[in-house]
Amino acid sequence: MAGDAMPKSPSCSARTRAHAETMRSHSELVLTTLQADAARITKATTEFAPIKSTLAPRMSALTKELRNVKPLPVGCMPGADRVRNLGASIEAANKSIPR
């Protein structure tokens, strides 16, 4: 049965070319995604720069206030001061974000 040949598979070079094309397509997609991510990071950095100087002191003051509040006993609900400080923290953060 020396004459019976096995079905031929694609040549090694054809498989290599197909693999190379798949890798190229994947690389292009990854590069495009990376470029888009870098653009979003750059935009976020640019937007954050002007608010950083105003946000940092506000957050420091609020953090200090929250640290100085006495801890609640187990099962106790937060008091008005804690709720106001938390609300002020959220408001300061939201005001610092340019819209």
Q: What is the pLDDT along the chain (99 residues), one digit of tens a residue?
A: 555 555 556 677 888 999 999 999 999 999 999 999 999 999 998 888 888 888 778 888 878 887 887 777 888 887 788 888 888 888 887 777 766
Q: 78-96: string of b/e by CB count within 10 Å (b at 16+)?
A: eeeeeeebeeebeebeeeb
How many domains is the chain built from?
A: 1
Residues of the domain holding 52: 12-69+78-96
Q: With respect to residue 90, please indicate whether it lies within any of the assigned structural domains.
A: yes
The 8 Å CB, 24+ separation contacts for 91-98 are 92/55, 92/58, 92/59, 92/62, 93/55, 93/59, 96/51, 96/54, 96/55, 96/58, 97/51, 98/47, 98/50, 98/51
Chain position carrying tokens 């006495």: 70
Q: With respect to residue 44, please indicate whether it lies within any of the assigned structural domains.
A: yes
Q: With respect to residue 3, please indicate whether it lies within any of the assigned structural domains.
A: no
pTM reported for the whole predicted model: 0.45
Q: With respect to residue 2, please indicate whether it lies within any of the assigned structural domains.
A: no
